[in-house]
Amino acid sequence: MTKEAAADFFGISRATLFSRLKDDPEIEAAWLRGRAKTQATMMQGLIGAANQGNIRALMFLGERICGLKEHVVHEAHVETRYVVELPTEVPTQDLTADLSLLSASPPE
């Protein structure tokens, strides 16, 4: 549970909760203990699920706890094609002549 959600649950403003956590070491310690207990309970549940063959639990534990992460590299050949739209007022023969000039070797 986030601190914001805890403040909403207890019916106090978020600012009040943050202020109390900052000003009172006992409240901060209690918050940290509760968080640690929740994490331990969650870990026990994950390990139990993994022991029963739950693939998602096994993957999560493998990635987060053991540092095992599959690295996938995608390789592909990309071919770029261009579409040239010609205005209707340019006659095709003029364009063909202009293109032949471009492909001709430059004057020496």
pLDDT per position as a tens digit, 32-65: 999 999 999 999 999 999 999 999 999 888 888 8
Strand, coil or helix: what is 62? Answer: helix
Per-residue model confidence (pLDDT) at position 41: 93
What is the mean pLDDT of the segment spanning 12-37? 94
Contacts of 21 (CB under 8 A, 6+ apart): 3, 27, 28, 31
Q: What's the predicted TM-score (pTM) here?
A: 0.52
Cα(55)–Cα(65) distance, integer angstroms: 15
Structural domain spans, the chain: 3-64
Tokens of 73: 């590299």
Cα(90)–Cα(108) distance, integer angstroms: 30
Q: What is the DSSP letter of 24?
A: -
Per-range mean pLDDT, top range of 42-56, 66-80, 92-106: 42-56
pLDDT surpassing 60 at residue 90: no
Question: Of 96 and 55, which is predicted with more confidence?
Answer: 55
